Structure 1
Amino acid sequence: MYTHTTQIRVRYGETDQMGYVYYGHYASYFEVARVEALRHLGMSYKELEEEGIMMPVLENHSYYHHPAIYDDLLSIEVSIKNIPSVRIIFYYRIFNESGKMVHSGETKLAFMHAENKRPCRPSEKMIALLAPFFEPGGSEV
């Protein structure tokens, strides 16, 4: 399993009238964590796009546990539990500074050829970068 943690500080404009993070911002937090996890792995979204591979979101699920509030420093843990095939699932857990889980969720994305919009497999580079984090013969998504 590959896991990476990214931190984000809640900005005032991300909160609602009650002072809580507005629910729509969690999808953006997921995206930041996903992009940074791939960058840390050694592959950027930009590289994938330059190779002609897009990654549209097929599903996004969010679970609210406790409110995050303005100026909280959030740690967003993102995990990839399986070697991807034509789809990849990212799992998220978001913690505040006191270690309380405030949010969790997952997103399912597809690999798609940018030119013809048809499903494809991830690049060999991505598989090679992920392989050390999985047992030989690991599960595919």
Structure 2
Amino acid sequence: MKFNETKIRVRYGETDKMGVVYHANYAIYFEVGRTEWLREFGLSYRGMEAEGVMLPVVSLTINYKNSARYDDVVKVKTTLRKMPTASIEFDYELRNEADVLLATGNTILAFIDTKKNRPTRCPKYLLDKLQN
């Protein structure tokens, strides 16, 4: 399936007193990966929202393997798990510069029609871009 890789440098404010990344920040790294994955296809959350579609996270799983630390450059690999329907699902791998696996994860996001505040199907323009 289609994937994107992006790099993030761990900032001091994302760590605890021991210089280890606070666990909740992994979800933020996954969000950066998703955002960059969309950009690779010429899309953005802002553009989708302007079209009346929102993508709230309905499920998040993180499996911690090793610690990310202050000033590490981490690579987030974001992979589309399957073609979207009324939801879109991503798998993640987070690795450091030595290629050590730091965490794996998964998110499911629902497509929501903002005018009706109800679930909707994946927009055709996104499906079209994914099929190329």
Q: Do both share a fold (TM > 0.5)?
A: yes
| Contact map agreement 1:33 1:77 (CA 8 A) in 2 | yes
Between the aligned partners of 1:81 and 1:102, the Cα distance in structure 2 is: 20
Between the aligned partners of 1:9 and 1:101, the Cα distance in structure 2 is: 16
| Cα shift readout 1:4-47 (whole Å, capped 9, x = no counterpart) | 00110000110012211000101111111101110111111111
- 1:32-111 aligned within 5 A: 32-111=32-111
Between the aligned partners of 2:107 and 2:44, the Cα distance in structure 1 is: 18
Amino acid at match of 1:37: W
Please give the secondary structure, in 1, of the residue aligned with 2:102: strand
**Alignment-derived partner of residue 3 in structure 2:** 3
| Cα shift readout 1:95-124 (whole Å, capped 9, x = no counterpart) | 000001101101110000011111101111
Between the aligned partners of 1:84 and 1:130, the Cα distance in structure 2 is: 9
Please give the secondary structure, in 2, of the residue aligned with 1:63: strand
| Contact map agreement 1:83 1:131 (CA 8 A) in 2 | no
Does 2:126 align with 1:126? yes
| Cα shift readout 1:70-114 (whole Å, capped 9, x = no counterpart) | 000000000002110001111100000000110110111000001
Hey, which bits of structure 1, 4+ residues long, moved more than 4 A? none
Between the aligned partners of 1:102 and 1:117, the Cα distance in structure 2 is: 37
RMSD over aligned CA atoms reads 0.7
Please give the secondary structure, in 2, of the residue aligned with 1:59: strand
5+ long unaligned stretches in structure 2: none
Between the aligned partners of 1:108 and 1:92, the Cα distance in structure 2 is: 12
Between the aligned partners of 2:41 and 2:99, the Cα distance in structure 1 is: 25
Between the aligned partners of 1:94 and 1:77, the Cα distance in structure 2 is: 6
Q: Percent identity?
A: 41
Q: What TM-score does the superposition give when structure 2 sets the normalisation length?
A: 0.97
Q: What TM-score does the superposition give when structure 1 sets the normalisation length?
A: 0.91
Amino acid at match of 1:7: K
| Contact map agreement 1:62 1:104 (CA 8 A) in 2 | yes
**Alignment-derived partner of residue 22 in structure 2:** 22
Between the aligned partners of 2:131 and 2:83, the Cα distance in structure 1 is: 7
Please give the secondary structure, in 2, of the residue aligned with 1:21: coil
